[in-house]
């Protein structure tokens, strides 16, 4: 007879590895930008935060559009993870819990990718705000053992 007790610690380690790998990717975005565009790290605080429309730089419309998209993606990540957690607990499925975590982290990464695009396409010096939003979102999605237990055990 096989042991029917779920391996919560093993599952948690898998969740943690996924979480830390995607968080490290955010740091790698900053490193890549530093290697390719080091001039963006020489902050000129006289430049407007909403950008300017000259010399291929991001204009206010682009910056505001990217900001709205980044914040929307970060907020949707919490909605989708919560919904996925409820579904996982209802179905007693750790796989649903894992896919919810991955989807939430991917949505947080969207904001970082938008910051990366602002840095490379528009030489926008405040790109780090988008990457910071993605990292904060990922930190808030830290995996918890309680969620795994709730999705593992029948009540």
Classify 6 in phi/psi space as left (phi over 0), alpha (psi -120 to 50) or beta: beta
pLDDT tens digits, one per residue of 69-99: 999 999 999 999 999 999 988 888 888 888 9
Is the full-model pTM beyond 0.95? Answer: no
Predicted confidence band of residue 134 (pLDDT cuts 50, 70, 90): very high
What is residue 104's predicted lDDT score, i.e. its pLDDT? Answer: 95
Residue 17, classified by CB atoms within 10 Å of its CB into exposed (0-12), middle (13-18) or buried (19+), is exposed
- For the chain, give every domain's residue range: 8-38+60-152
> Would you state the pLDDT for residue 37?
86
Distance CA 115, CA 67 (A): 9
pLDDT score of 21 more than 70: yes
Token digits for 28? 């790698």
Half-sphere exposure of 27 (CA within 13 A, CB side): 6
Question: How many Cβ atoms sit within 10 Å of the Cβ of residue 77?
Answer: 26
Q: Which residue has the higher pLDDT, 118 or 58?
A: 118
In Å, what is the CA distance from 72 to each residue of 26, 77, 116, 128, 155? 18, 9, 17, 17, 35
52 band by pLDDT with thresholds 50, 70 and 90: low
| 136 pLDDT more than 90 | yes
Residue 68 reports pLDDT greater than 80: yes
pLDDT at 100 over 70: yes
Would you say the C-alpha torsion 96, 99, 103, 108 has a positive or negative sign? positive
pLDDT in tens, 27-44: 999 999 999 988 888 877
Residue 13 to residue 104: CA distance in whole angstroms: 18
pLDDT at res. 74: 94
């Amino acid at each position: 007879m096989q042991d029917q007790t779920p391996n919560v610690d093993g599952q948690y380690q898998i969740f943690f590895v996924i979480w830390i790998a995607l968080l490290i990717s955010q740091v790698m975005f900053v490193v890549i930008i530093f290697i390719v565009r080091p001039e963006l790290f020489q902050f000129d605080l006289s430049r407007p935060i909403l950008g300017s429309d000259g010399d291929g730089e991001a204009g206010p419309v682009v910056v505001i559009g990217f900001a709205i998209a980044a914040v929307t993606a970060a907020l949707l990540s919490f909605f989708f993870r919560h919904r996925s957690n409820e579904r996982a607990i209802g179905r007693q499925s750790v796989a649903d819990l894992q896919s919810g975590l991955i989807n939430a982290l991917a949505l947080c990464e969207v904001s970082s990718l938008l910051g990366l695009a602002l840095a490379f396409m528009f030489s926008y010096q405040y790109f780090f705000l988008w990457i910071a939003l993605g990292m904060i979102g990922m930190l808030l999605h830290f995996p918890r053992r309680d969620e795994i237990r709730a999705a593992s055990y029948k009540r």
